[in-house]
Amino acid sequence: MVAKRTITFSDGKKIPAVGWGSGSGGFIGSGQRAVDAGVIALKEGILHIDTAQIYKTEEETAESIRLSGIPREKIWVTTKLWKIDATTPELIRESVEGSIKRLGTIPDLLLIHNPYIPEAGKLGAFWTILEELVYDGTLKGCSLGFSNFRTQDVAEVLKVARIKPVANQVEFHPFLWAQLEPLQKFQAEHGIVFQSYGPLTPLLRHPTGGSLKAVVEKIAEKRGIEPSTVLLLWTVQKNVVAITTSNNPERIAKLAQIDSLPDLSAEEIAAIDEAGKKVHFRHYTEHMEADFPAPNLPADA
Ligand SMILES: NC(=O)c1ccc[n+]([C@@H]2O[C@H](COP(=O)([O-])OP(=O)(O)OC[C@H]3O[C@@H](n4cnc5c(N)ncnc54)[C@H](OP(=O)(O)O)[C@@H]3O)[C@@H](O)[C@H]2O)c1
Per-residue pLDDT of 76-109, as tens digits, reads: 999 999 999 999 999 999 999 999 999 999 999 9
- Residue among 55, 116, 135, 284 flagged as catalytic: 55
DSSP 88: -
Would you state the pLDDT for residue 88? 96
DSSP 3: -
Q: Count of domains in the chain? A: 1
How many Å lie between the centroid of ligand 1 and the Cα of residue 198?
Answer: 6
Backbone phi, psi, residue 163, to 5°? -95, 120
Q: Is residue 290 part of a domain?
A: no
Indicate which atom in ligand 1 lies nearest the CA of residue 26: 43
**Nearest-atom index, ligand 1, CA of 52:** 47
Q: Which domain holds residue 209?
A: 6-276
In the reported structure, the alpha carbon of residue 250 is separated from the centroid of ligand 1 by a whole-number distance in angstroms of 15
Task: Give the mutation target among 36, 81, 204, 247 for probing the ligand 1 site: most ligand atoms within 8 A of CB.
Answer: 204
Q: Averaged over 242-265, what is the pLDDT?
A: 97
The pLDDT of residue 2 is 87
For ligand 1, atom 27: residue with the closest CA: 246
What three-state secondary structure class fits 81?
strand
Inform me whether the pLDDT recorded for 193 exceeds 90.
yes
- Domain assignment present for residue 156? The answer is yes
Q: Does 50 contact ligand 1 (Cβ within 6 A)?
A: yes
Mean pLDDT of 151-155: 98
Share of the chain above pLDDT 90, in %: 98
Buried b (16+ CB within 10 A) or exposed e, 45-84: bbbbbbbbbbbbbbbbbbbbbeebebeeeebbbbbbbeeb
Give residue 1's pLDDT.
Answer: 80
> Is residue 54, in this structure, part of any structural domain at all?
yes
C-beta of residue 283 within 8 angstroms of C-beta of residue 170: no
Question: Is the pLDDT score of 116 beyond 90?
Answer: yes
Distance 74 CA to ligand 1 centre (A): 23
Q: How many CB atoms lie within 10 A of CB 85?
A: 8
With bands split at pLDDT 50, 70 and 90, how would you rate the model's confidence at 213?
Answer: very high
The atom of ligand 1 lying closest to the CA of 242 is 19
Per DSSP, helices labelled H in 85-241 are: 89-103, 123-135, 151-160, 177-189, 201-204, 210-223, 227-237
Confirm whether 281 is domain-assigned.
no
- The answer to whether residue 1 is domain-embedded is no
269 assigned to some structural domain: yes
**Average predicted confidence (pLDDT) for the chain:** 97
Answer yes or no: 55 catalytic: yes
Closest atom, ligand 1, to C-alpha of 24: 45
Q: What single-letter DSSP state applies at residue 225?
A: S
Q: Whose CA is nearest to atom 34 of ligand 1?
A: 204
Is residue 292 situated within a structural domain?
no
d(CA 301, CA 295): 14
Q: Report yes or no on 284 lying in a domain.
A: no
CATH number, position 262: 3.20.20.100
